[in-house]
Amino acid sequence: MTRSKAPFFPGIQYLRGFAALYVVTYHVNSDFHFPILANGYLGVQLFFMVSGFLMTYIHGQDRGLAAAGNFVRKRLIRIYPAYMIAFVPVVLIFHFMPSKGFAWHRDPVNIVRNFFLLHNPAQSILGVSWTLVYELMFYAIFCTWIIVLRRHMVGLLSGWFVLILANTYFFQIATGRLLFLDQINLYFIAGCFIALFYQRIPYKTNGAFLLFSLVIFILCPFFSTATISIFATCFILCLVCVLYEPARQFQFLIELGNASYSIYLTHLTIVAIVTSFIKQPWIMAPLFLICIVAGLLFYRYIERPTLQRLHKYSLPVPTTAQVKQI
């Protein structure tokens, strides 16, 4: 079973946009090291939590091989085309500027692995692509649930959560090849739990509550960098955004959310190019704006049209009922 209509959560759209911009601030600041901008990497944790929430809410009731096929088709169309387009210029930069990067940036085997997101996250040619490797792993696990493990999602998620914590604090097995044991997956799992239980909360949040949660999230790392503190503020912010019911929607923030993946994919290349020529702090604000505009343009003229064409011409996987009729 699949939900008949994909949900729309304005707060989640706002959060996606914020997460992308927060990551941009981190990379814009990477050569200047202003402490107030040093925590933008936490935007990645927000992305993972949002991903877990959306996958579970939209596809949590999907069952069987046909549903899994549709899930995989939709997710691969969503991830790969924009990534591959953004990836090619980076390969060319490292090829024609051999002084940049390391030998593995120009290794043909590693290039092919990166192109298909089958690479070691530590050798990501497009810097942010390490997160997409984890994203694909999450899709693979979720797809397995759809096909085989049709029940007991709460128990399975809880077991995965406990296993990660046990490895983090007791076993300490290296997660280089065992990505599913990495702490970052806690944010995926938390997003899944929000999707499974948020409807039981009889309250809605407003703009003031959302803004307060956002401020707490931003300020938290300045007082505590403990994993539990960061995790708790991420969880609260994501839950508040899910429960958020705005009096009016801000279209520009919705558009930022739509373009968040494009901004995420393109900004690091722009930052690297600009800061290789200009290493003065005054460039930070203009560079931040350039990254936003470039990401919005990439979304409007590349990502969105590409997705529309692929969804138009790609054939859906037959449903179970359709298969039985053949």
How do residues 33-50 score in pLDDT, each as one tens digit? 999 999 999 999 999 999
Assess contact for 146 and 62: CB atoms under 8 A: yes
Q: Among 323, 318, 265, which residue's Cα sits nearest to residue 78?
A: 265
Tell me the helix, strand and coil percentages in the chain, rounded to 5.
Answer: 75, 0, 25
List all residues 6 or more positions away from 256 whose beta carbon is below 8 Å from its beta carbon: 13, 14, 16, 17, 18, 20, 21, 263, 292, 296
Q: What is the crossing angle of helices 64-96 and 129-147, to 10°? A: 170
Question: How far is 66 from 144, CA to CA, in rounded Å?
Answer: 12
Q: What per-residue confidence (pLDDT) applies to 241?
A: 97
Q: What is the crossing angle of helices 260-275 and 284-298, to 10°? A: 140
Q: What per-residue confidence (pLDDT) applies to 316?
A: 53
Q: What per-residue confidence (pLDDT) applies to 178?
A: 85
Q: What per-residue confidence (pLDDT) applies to 16?
A: 97
| Token pair 């901008």: residue | 37
| 3-class SS of residue 205 | strand
Q: What per-residue confidence (pLDDT) applies to 107?
A: 95
Q: What per-residue confidence (pLDDT) applies to 7?
A: 58
pLDDT in tens, the chain (326 residues): 344 445 589 999 999 999 999 999 999 999 999 999 999 999 999 999 999 999 999 888 888 888 888 999 999 999 999 999 999 999 999 988 888 888 999 999 999 999 999 999 999 999 999 999 999 999 999 888 888 876 778 888 999 999 999 998 888 887 777 888 999 999 999 999 999 999 898 889 999 999 999 999 999 999 988 889 999 999 999 999 999 988 888 999 999 999 999 999 999 999 999 998 999 999 999 999 999 999 999 999 999 999 999 877 765 544 433 333 32
Q: What per-residue confidence (pLDDT) applies to 202?
A: 87
Assess contact for 274 and 290: CB atoms under 8 A: yes
Q: What per-residue confidence (pLDDT) applies to 318?
A: 43
